[in-house]
């Protein structure tokens, strides 16, 4: 598979070269082989996970799973409808809180932050990206749960929002920087003020890129479990209040996976499949919407 077509485009004619010793040629082939082997080893678990997820998940998904709340142990049936809705509520809260700040910070970085202050914000947001999600959970616990005195969807949303902001800020910055300076200058030349240029020209030109960044951040937090453990907490029943403990798909998967019951294990697989399908379809839906211009005026 790997041959002279590789990206080293300069194929030196063999004739002009001194003979390459056998040892060096063998090393070359061995290392190439090893490198191919690593690719196989890395792709193996990926396919194993997806294959298993689909195989186990499809067998356990049924209408009841999508429409009912969990049943007590021993009773067959039951589902994760409340967790699916709960996840959506928490993610909606997170997006409402996190996206504007993230985009704002991104605008700051690209339009006003080409200086030392910008560098600080840039560095801090990169570092924030690496903060373990469970630590963010503790912070949201202290900020929201301690004040409200009980677990809530709001606390979960705050935790996820904190995780979204740095990611969105950095991707927005990169997307805005791709907009040619000439377009901005053209707007200034027409007498358009700077803020109007940023919103109506720069941001609008980069809309699809910015939305892609937002979706990346969304996909990243959508599957998060650790920060929800002691913020949203989980719930076996329907709950429509944002200040009450709320079920989340990922939490439910965790609870069921570490339980000793076969029936729950099946549900965990089904939940995992639904979670991945939801994440992928949310991302795909927004991408398609952006491509077809539905959101072009955003």
Partner 1 sequence: MSNQALPRPRFNAPEPEPGVKAALKIEARTTPLLQGKVSEIPDVVFSWAMRLCGLAVVGLLGLIVYQLVVGSQLSWHAFGWKFFWQSDWNPVEDVYGALPFIYGTILSSLLSLVIAVPLSIGVAVFITEMCPIRLRGILSFTTELLAAIPSVVYGLWAIFVMVPILREYVQPFLGKTLGWTGFFTGPPYGIGMLAAGVILAIMVIPIISSITREVLTVVPQHQREAVLALGATRWEMIRMGVLRNARAGIVGAIILGLGRALGETMAVTMVIGNRPEIAKSLFAPGYTMASVLANEFTEATGDLYLSALIEIGLALFFVTIVVNALARLMVWSVTRGQPARSVA
What residues between 135 and 194 interact with partner 1 by CB under 8 A?
A: 135-139, 141-143, 162, 165-167, 169-170, 183, 187, 190-194
| Stretch of residues binding partner 1 (CB under 8 A), selected from 7-15, 72-80, 81-89, 284-292 | 7-15
Could you say which residues in the range 256-275 bind partner 1, by CB under 8 A? 257-258, 265, 268-269, 272, 275
Q: Given the complex with partner 1, which of 31 and 73 has the nearer CB atom?
A: 31
Q: How far is the CB of 166 from partner 1 (least distance, A)?
A: 6
Q: Which two tokens stand for residue 47?
A: 């396919």
Q: Which residues contact 126 (CB under 8 A, 6 or more apart)?
A: 166, 170
By CB under 8 A, the residues from 11 to 30 that bind partner 1 are 12, 17-18, 20, 24-25, 27-28
Alpha carbon distance 112, 118 (integer Å): 8
246 pairs with which residues across the strands?
233
DSSP 8-state assignment for residue 202: I
Query: Is residue 276 part of the contact set for partner 1 (CB under 8 A)?
Result: yes
- Angle at alpha carbon of residue 129, lines to 114 and 219, rounded to 5°: 110
Ramachandran region, residue 149 (left: φ > 0; alpha: ψ -120 to 50; beta: rest): left
Measured between alpha carbons, how far is 98 from 118 in angstroms, rounded to an integer? 19
Nearer CB in complex with partner 1: 39/63: 39
Nearer to partner 1, 79 or 137 (CB): 137
Which residues are registered as beta bridge partners of 276? none
Contact flag: residue 282 with partner 1 (CB under 8 A): no
Q: How near is the Cβ of 280 to partner 1 at its closest, in Å?
A: 8
Pairwise CA distance, residues 243 & 234, whole Å: 12
Question: According to CB under 8 A, which one of 1, 15, 22, 63 is a site residue for partner 1?
Answer: 1
Binding mask 28-47 for partner 1 (x = CB under 8 A): x--xx-xxxxxx-xxx-xx-
The nearest distance, CB 18 to partner 1, in angstroms, is 6
Per residue in 202-241, is it b (16+ CB within 10 Å) or e — as a string? bbebbbbbbbbbbbebbebbbebbbbbbbbbbbbbeebee
Indicate whether 55 belongs to the interface with partner 1 (CB under 8 A): no
Residues 79-108 that bind partner 1 (CB under 8 A): 100-105, 107-108
**Stretch 214-253: interaction string toward partner 1, x if CB under 8 A:** --x--xx-xxxxx--xx--x----------------x--x
Q: What is the b/e burial string over 83-104, where b = at least 16 CB atoms within 10 angstroms of the residue's CB?
A: bbbbbebbbebbbebbbebbbe
């Amino acid at each position: 598979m790997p041959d002279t077509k590789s990206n080293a485009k300069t194929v030196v004619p063999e004739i002009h070269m001194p003979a390459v010793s056998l040892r060096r040629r063998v090393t070359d082939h061995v290392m190439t082989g090893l490198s191919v082997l690593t690719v196989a080893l890395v792709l193996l678990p990926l396919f194993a996970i997806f294959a298993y997820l689909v195989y186990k998940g499809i067998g356990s998904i049924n209408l009841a799973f999508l429409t009912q709340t969990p049943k007590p142990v021993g009773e067959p049936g039951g589902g994760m409808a409340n967790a699916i809705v709960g996840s959506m509520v928490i993610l909606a809260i997170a997006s409402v809180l996190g996206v504007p700040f993230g985009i704002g910070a991104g605008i700051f970085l690209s339009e006003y932050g080409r200086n030392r202050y910008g560098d600080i914000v840039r560095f801090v947001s990169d570092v924030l990206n690496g903060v373990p999600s469970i630590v963010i959970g503790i912070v949201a616990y202290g900020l929201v749960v301690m004040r409200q005195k009980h677990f809530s969807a709001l606390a979960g949303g705050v935790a996820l929002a904190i995780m979204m902001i740095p990611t969105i800020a950095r991707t927005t910055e990169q997307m805005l920087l791709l907009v040619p300076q000439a377009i901005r200058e053209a707007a200034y030349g027409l007498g358009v003020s700077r803020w109007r240029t940023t919103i109506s020209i720069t941001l609008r030109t980069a809309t699809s890129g910015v939305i892609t960044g937002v979706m990346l951040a969304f996909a990243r937090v959508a599957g998060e479990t650790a920060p929800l453990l002691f913020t949203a907490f989980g719930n076996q029943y329907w709950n429509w209040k944002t200040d009450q403990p709320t079920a989340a798909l990922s939490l439910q998967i965790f609870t069921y996976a570490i339980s000793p019951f076969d029936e729950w294990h099946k549900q965990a697989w089904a939940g995992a499949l639904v979670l991945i399908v939801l994440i992928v379809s949310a991302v795909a839906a927004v991408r398609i919407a952006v491509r077809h211009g539905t959101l072009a005026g955003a």
